[in-house]
Structure 1
Amino acid sequence: MQIRVQTYKGKDGRIRQGKTVSLLRYAYDPEKRRSKQVVIGTLDRWATELPPELDSLLTDAEHHEFKEWIAERDQQRQELAQRHHLLHAAEHMGWAAKALLAGADPVRPERIWEALDVLAKALEKAGYPRPSRGRGRPSKDETPTPDDLVVSLYDDPMLAAEIEDAQERVAALPNFIPLPPAARKGKGSDGP
Structure 2
Amino acid sequence: MHIRVQTYRDKSGNTRQGKSISLLRYAYDHEKKRSKQIVLGTVDRWATSLPPDIDAILTDAEREEFREWMAERDRQLAEYKQKSHLLHAAEQMGWAAKALAAGVEPVRPERIWEALDVLAKALEKAGYPRPTRARGRPSKSETPTPDDLVASPYDDPMLAAEQAEMDERMATLPSFIPDGQSRMRRSRNVQK
Please give the TM-score of this superposition, normalised by the length of structure 2: 0.87
Q: What is the RMSD of the two structures over their aligned residues, measured on CA atoms?
A: 2.1
Tell me by how many angstroms 1:27 deviates.
Answer: 1.5
| CA 1:57–1:178: 2 relative to 1, 3 Å | farther
Counterpart of 1:117, as a letter, is D
Residue of structure 2 equivalent to 1:19 = 19
How many residues are paired up? Answer: 183
Q: Distance in 1 between matches of 2:165 and 2:130?
A: 37
Q: Distance in 2 between matches of 1:53 and 1:84?
A: 37
Tell me by how many angstroms 1:66 deviates.
Answer: 0.3
Q: How does 1:100-179 map to 2 (within 5 A)?
A: 100-176=100-176
Give per-residue Cα distances to partners, 1:159-178, cap 9 Å, x unaligned: 33431331232233123468
Give per-residue Cα distances to partners, 1:128-156, cap 9 Å, x unaligned: 00000111121111100000000111233
Give per-residue Cα distances to partners, 1:108-132, cap 9 Å, x unaligned: 1111111101100000000000000
Moved over 6 A (4+): none
Q: Distance in 2 between matches of 1:20 and 1:161?
A: 28
Q: Distance in 2 between matches of 1:132 and 1:27?
A: 64
Match of 2:110, SS?
helix
Q: Distance in 2 between matches of 1:165 and 1:29?
A: 44
Q: Distance in 2 between matches of 1:24 and 1:178?
A: 50
Residue of structure 2 equivalent to 1:80 = 80
Tell me by how many angstroms 1:157 deviates.
Answer: 4.5
Q: By percentage of residues, which structure has more helix?
A: 2
Give per-residue Cα distances to partners, 1:1-57, cap 9 Å, x unaligned: 110000112222222111110000112222222221100000111111111111111
For structure 1, which runs of at least 5 residues remain unmatched after alignment? 185-192
Q: Distance in 1 between matches of 2:45 and 2:157?
A: 32
Q: Distance in 1 between matches of 2:43 and 2:157?
A: 38
User: Identity over the aligned pairs, expressed in percent?
Assistant: 73
Q: Distance in 2 between matches of 1:98 and 1:108?
A: 17
Match of 1:20, SS?
strand
